[in-house]
Structures are given as structure tokens and as C-alpha cells.
Structure 1
Amino acid sequence: MKLIDTKTKNNVLDSMMKNIEQNRAAILEANKKDLEAFKKDDQALYDRLVVDDSKINGMIKAISEVRAQEDPVNQEISNATLDNGLNIINRTAPFGTIMIIYESRPDVTVEAAVLAFKANNKILLKGGKEAYNSNKELVSCWHKSLAENGLENDWIKMLVLNREETQAFLKNPTEPLDLIVPRGGERLINFVKENAKCAVLVSGRGNNFLYVAEDADWIKTLQVILNAKTDKISGCNALDKVLIDKKLPHYETRLQELKTVLEKAKVEILVDDEIKKVLSENKSIPNEATWNEEFLAMKIAVGSVDGMDEAISKINKYSGGHSSVILTEDTQTAKHFMENVDSAAVYHNASTRFTDGGQMGVGAELAISTDKLHHRGPLGLKQLVTNKYYVFGDGHVRV
């Protein structure tokens, strides 16, 4: 793949910031069409679809932050000259062509493309039909920005495909395809993994857990649970499950306090059999499958555990491997929990809402990876490259 020099890439990003600003009214009007056509039966999906002036400002800021970052391509990882005289240099290199499949969020059309482009990758944007008009307007801004700097439109392409057409494309791509990132629920992820013929980097579901240890500071606990659950229910970093240690002092009183705080915030509480003994008026968790479920709603499940090891076991069995939290005042307890819970991000006394590229200092993100190969957590600019070995010899042959 042709390598674009850093100056040209940054010039494209300058053009894109200008073009978004100049087309602000058109972007808002396009989004209005999408919102009017959307059946508001999925609040989380609707929330992700909304574009307002604040969202547009966020898009411009994301581009600005990526522009300011060092070009991740052709960076030297290692350089060694062997005893036989061979000089071996390992450098970062673009993936090639990345395809991202996502639902509803038009801001992904900007954030995914700016990251892929700065890392010298081509990107195929397969957004949901609910955001068609918004995405079309934003991709038009991209194409104008590329053209202003002498580059072809094929660096950033919008795919308009239905489910059957997407399946056919995954099975038999009409152009080279090096990496696919499905950014959505478990059904989308499974669909892509079943049909794709190239590498798939999973941006997994949330279903995030929080464990309240017996020595937890209760004021911190209530603050963290409330923020993690209610700050943004459509985020994959929202909290879904709370596990309370049976040895928590004033156990019954504190359960009642937790119930009061959550219900005041209009959060529906589901409880397991042990918690039901105290919160008798709340609905029971209907079945085991609920422990696997990412709610994306003002709903939370609360269960009781007999110690940290049971909490760790339950989290590793049911969570999406995204974000997990322990509330404890003991650093050794926190260390044990964080080292043994199998999640991309593990927290001590802090909300899951910080699992975000911007919040973690990565900047704009392509997705939150729950895979273990290549990278885990926020996929920022530095994570959108692979590597290549350059081997320099002088007639060397292996004997």
C-alpha cells in the first residue's frame, strides 16, 4: 500500500475540520432526517444516533487530537545487527484495508476514519441504515477533504449494504480486506465471525460487573455504582451487574440504601435469591441467561457472593470481558482482584465509564477491543498498525 507522508495526512485532517464546520447545518439537517425516520423503540440506539452541535464539536476535537499525535507508521521497533552481519530492523506498518461495521453512531464515521487514515489504512465504513443520511453527509466531507489534497476517495468509503449483501461481501470481498472490526452487540459480532474470511478484531459487548468487598467505603460505593449505571446507558462501558459481599457490615441496611439511590434515579433493580430475602419487593433475576445480558437500559442486576473468589469466578464466567470493578480499601485485595479478573480494563474504586479512549489518554478510538491478540482495550492511533521486518544483507545465504 502507498505510504502517504505525514504532512499530506495532516493537511487532509485540517481540511476535514474546516469542511465539518462549514457543513455543520447540512450535517444537522441530515441527522434530523434520520431521527424522524427512526422508530424510538430502542432508547440506547436512538441516543447514539443523535447529532447536535456538541457532537459536531466532539468530532472536530477528535480530528484535532489525532492530527496532533505522532504518525504511527514506519516507526522503528527494534534494530539489531546479528553476528553474521545481517541487519534486521522491525518497523510499524499499516494493516491495509480495515472494515468497520457499526450501528447508529454517526460520530464513528469521523473517529474511525480519522484513525484509520492517519495510520495509512484505507477504511470501509458500514454504518447502520438508521444513520444513512448523517453518514452520507460526513463521508461527503471526507471525500472533499481528500480531493482538496490530491487523494482518491477510495481511502475512505461508505458501504451501503443490507444484511444479505454484507454477508456476501464478507464471504467474498470485492476488494482486498485485511481487518474487520464489528462494533456492536453479540449478534453482530457472531455474524461477522461466522462469515468473514480475514482477521476479525472483536469490539465486545459490555455487561460490566462491580464487586463490593466487605471493607468497601460505602459512600464511594454508592457514588461509583450510580455513575457507572446512569451516566450513559447506551455506552458499552455502562454497569450492568453488582455483586455484594455477604460479609459487608450493615448488609441489610446498605442494600436498602442502594435500592433507594438506584430507584430514585429510575433504575430497575433485579435481584438474586439471596438479595430477594432483603429486597423482597424487587423482581427476581428471571434466569441464568440474565447474568450474560448487556442491558443498555436503566436496569441493573444485584447479587450476593460469599467472598472475592466467588465474585471473580462469576465475573469471569458471565461478563463480556470489557470492564470490571472492585470497591475495597485494601490495596492487596484490589491487586488480587485486578490480576485475576479477565477483563480488558479492571478498576479499583472507580467507575467503568472511564473505559474510553479519550478518558484513558488514547484520544479518539476505533473501538474497545475485548480480544487478546494484537491489542485489548481502547483502539487508538498507535494500535492501528502492524509491523514489518526489513532485513539487509550482502549476499547472505543460510548454511
Structure 2
Amino acid sequence: MQEQVVSYALEKVEKARQTLRALSSLKTSIKNNTLLRAAELLDKKRDYIKEENSKDIEYAKSLGLSSALIDRLLLNDKRIDGMIKVLEDVAKLPDPVGEIVRMWTLPNGLKVGRMRVPLGVVFIVYEARPNVTIEAASLCMKSSNAIILRGGKEAINSNRALVEVLKEACRMEGFPEDAIQFIDRPEREIVWEILKMEGKVDVAIPRGGESLIRAVAENARVPVIKHYKGVCNIYVDDEADLKKAYHIVYNAKVQRPSVCNAVENLIIHRNILESFWPRMAYILGKAGVELRCDEESLRIIKNNPRLSFVKAVPATEEDYYEEFLDLILAVKVVGSLEEAIDFIEKYGSKHSDAIITENYTKAMRFLQEVDSAAVYVNASTRFTDGNEFGLGAEMGISTDKIHARGPMALEELTITKFVILGEGQVRDNVGVPEDLLSEALQV
């Protein structure tokens, strides 16, 4: 059994790796045409894709998965339209491969530059959301990387259907089909084998829950770009525009609670607790949000008869560290901006954090001092997304500080190499001695 797993994993990696040379010099027009063809095929085959997705939905229900997780699995017409848009948007983006980032001339006449090149073979391990298949593959295709896709077993039928569409587009447009590899077997051992393949796999990107990411990071011998949990925070300052705050907090928690950029902790300045919190709690309660409150915010709810319908319970220390991915929100009252930033530093995951304030100085301090991948002033954390940032799509949202941070898009799927243009220069002017050269030319 183990031999079969190793053989299967090696076959997938070798097929992907063999396409790298062709990918490195592939014309941008072929890449773009392939992406646009895939968009057309997605549209034509949407009924087939939804049919395959329905199998995954039924399987997820049989496992007793939460409604939030099932929502992440669902591919309806709106989400298929979203995947089509991703393909079209990525096709419109400038091709980063071959771009000279910078070039300078040395005193000896050498021209030294840095050129963007693909990372190579990218192994992405992800859970639940089948639209990641399209996002990740489209970005790797445009950036001339080969990709190995390993989604969760709960989405295997949806992912297989989407990969079929991509491969058909590759065949139609002359894109190397083997640059897209799909792990269609459920054994986890395949993942661990691929993660060991130093020199064959250039980078692994896990996208999913914290346990998945830690497992990948702990078992990998190849470089890993990590996307840890999204414990996002919103701080409502005592100089906030409260109407903005109502809309921003509602959007960040309610619009789609099952994703990593949804807010999990609401921090409120004590000076506006009486004016802001009862109304915000009322809005959140009507939306079905369970509130896990500190002593001060809980007392406000319990002492207001009009908030008797709100589900509010005392918060535990663990709640503030938790990525709920559900209609649950932890609440903390603070007395200053400094206390809010301290709270974010302690409990946040360095993903996305926001301040709502009309005070410019406080806003700038928040931007400078909060050490997260995305930091906002007067906007919802839900915008932390490659497509929303105008990047076309994303491989994930990196919370690392090496190579890539925040939404990983086209540029983050390349790395620079030095290119040097010369006219015969040698270091320290040490070339072949003239007498030796003369002798050699007589040979």
C-alpha cells in the first residue's frame, strides 16, 4: 500500500515538473486564451458542475457538517459566475513573468537586474471551498507555475469537475495540460509524501483550518507559505462615526461568517459603550449572532429589556483567541487606543484588523502599530481578498513575513532572479595572461 502511495505521489509531481521549461517561455496570449476558454466552458457546463457539487453537499450533510461548512462547499450559479469572473479577471492582468523589476549599471559596465520568474511546482492543500480550485489554478497558469491540487475529500466531485474543465481548455489552446495535477485519491499519506519531495516541489501552500496548516508545516521538508487562522478584530474608537460602525461591524460578521476575513472580536471604547453598544447588539441579535461578552458589555445587554431576545453569554479567555467561522462574536470593552492595540497583539492572528475612527492621528497610529497582513481604517475586514484588492484572485492570505504577506496573487507566485548583462568583463581584470593566450591560440 505504501509503495502505491509513493508511486502515485511521485508520478503526479514528476508530470508537473516536466512542464516547467515549456511554461517558462509560454506566450502570454496562450495563457490568456486558455483562461478565457476555461471561463466559457464553466458557463457551458454549469449544470454538470452543480450536479457534481450536489453529491458533495449530500455527503457533507451525511457527515453532520455545520451549515457554515456546507455553505463553503456550495457551488450555485452565483458562485460559478464568480469563478468565471476570476478567470476573466486574471486573463486581463499583466503577465509578471519576465518582468525586469530593476536594473542598474556598475562602474565596470555590467548591467545587473532582477527578473520575475515562476516559483516552479506549487502544491496547494485546501479544504471545503471548491472555488479555490479555479482561483489557485488560474493564478498558477498565468504566472507559469505548475500546480498540484489537493482539496478536501468532502469536495472531491466538485474539484474533479472543475479540473476537467481546466484541462479541456488547456488541450484546446495549447497550454501544457500536465501543469495542472489533481490528487483524486483520499489517502492523507499522499500529502505527506509530496511534502517530503525537496527539489521536486518548490513550495507548499496550505489553505484551510489551523489544524491543517500546522500539520502541513510540521510534516513538510519543502518551503511552506502559511495562512493561519483569521482572528480578525474591529476596534470602534470613541471618535468613531457610529453609523459607519453599525454598517461595518454588521458586514464583517453577518455577510459571510464562515470565511477567514470575517470579524471575530469586537473591541469598543468605554466612552461610547452606552451610545453605541445597545444599538449594535440589537442589530447583531436580530441577525442571529451569538455574543460572547466581557462583564461591561454583558451588563448593558442584561439591563436593557429591549435586548432580552439577544443571545449573550459571558466570554471566556479562550473565546478571544477563537476563529468561530460562524455567527458568533466576542466583545471586549477598552479604555484607550493603546489598550485596543494591546488586545489585538495578544489575541489576534495577524490577519486583518480595523479601526473605526474620525481621528486622523489615531488612524495613522493604528496603521503603523498593528502588525497584521491587512490593516483597515473605516472599512470592513471582509475586503481582505485578492479579487477585492484588484489582484484578480488569490492563492490564500499569508500571515507569514517571508516572501509573501496578505493575499497571494500573481506577483507573490513569482520570485526574482538576478540577470547580468556583460561585454566580456572579468573580476579584478584577471583574465588569461597574454603569453599563455598566445600559446593556446597556436594549438
TM range, smaller chain: over 0.9
Mapped pair 1:372 → 2:401: yes
Aligned mate of 2:315, from 280, 285, 291 = 285
The match for 2:348 is: 319
Mapped pair 1:156 → 2:185: no
CA-atom RMSD in angstroms: 1.7
The match for 1:27 is: 49
The structure with the larger Rg is 2
Preserved contact between residue 195 and residue 201 of structure 2 (Cα < 8 Å): no
**Which residue identity does 1:292 align to in structure 2?**
Y
Normalised by the size of structure 2, how large is the TM-score?
A: 0.85
CA distance in 2, matches of 1:314, 1:323: 14
Deviation at 1:383, TM superposition (A): 2.1
Q: Which ranges in structure 1 are unaligned for 5 or more consecutive residues?
A: none
Preserved contact between residue 95 and residue 179 of structure 1 (Cα < 8 Å): yes
Higher mean C-alpha deviation, range 116-125 or range 349-358: 349-358
| Residue 224 to residue 80, structure 1, CA distance change in 2 (3 Å) | same
CA distance in 2, matches of 1:219, 1:392: 58
The match for 1:346 is: 375
Q: Which ranges in structure 2 are unaligned for 5 or more consecutive residues?
A: 1-19, 303-307, 429-443
CA distance in 2, matches of 1:212, 1:150: 53
**Which residue identity does 1:346 align to in structure 2?**
V
| Deviations, residues 309-356 of structure 1 (Å, cap 9, x unaligned) | 011011011111111111111111111111101111111111111112
| Deviations, residues 111-164 of structure 1 (Å, cap 9, x unaligned) | 110100110000011100011001111111111121223344320111134223
Preserved contact between residue 122 and residue 147 of structure 2 (Cα < 8 Å): yes
CA distance in 2, matches of 1:327, 1:94: 39
The match for 1:275 is: 297
Preserved contact between residue 103 and residue 127 of structure 1 (Cα < 8 Å): yes
Aligned mate of 1:388, from 397, 414, 417 = 417
Preserved contact between residue 126 and residue 161 of structure 1 (Cα < 8 Å): no
Deviation at 1:22, TM superposition (A): 2.5
The match for 2:245 is: 221
Aligned mate of 2:139, from 115, 119, 144 = 115
Aligned residue pairs, count: 395
The match for 1:106 is: 130
When you count helix as a share of all residues, which structure comes out higher?
2
**Which residue identity does 1:236 align to in structure 2?**
C
Alignment map for 1:190-339 (pairs within 5 Å): 190-248=214-272, 251-280=273-302, 282-286=312-316, 288-339=317-368
Normalised by the size of structure 1, how large is the TM-score?
A: 0.95
CA distance in 2, matches of 1:119, 1:195: 27
Alignment map for 1:37-76 (pairs within 5 Å): 37-39=59-61, 40-76=64-100
**Which residue identity does 1:135 align to in structure 2?**
N
Aligned mate of 1:93, from 113, 117, 132 = 117
Q: Secondary structure at the match of 2:301?
A: coil
Deviation at 1:51, TM superposition (A): 0.5
- Name the % identity: 40
CA distance in 2, matches of 1:15, 1:278: 56
Mapped pair 1:176 → 2:200: yes
Q: Secondary structure at the match of 2:112?
A: strand
CA distance in 2, matches of 1:352, 1:284: 25
Deviation at 1:253, TM superposition (A): 4.6
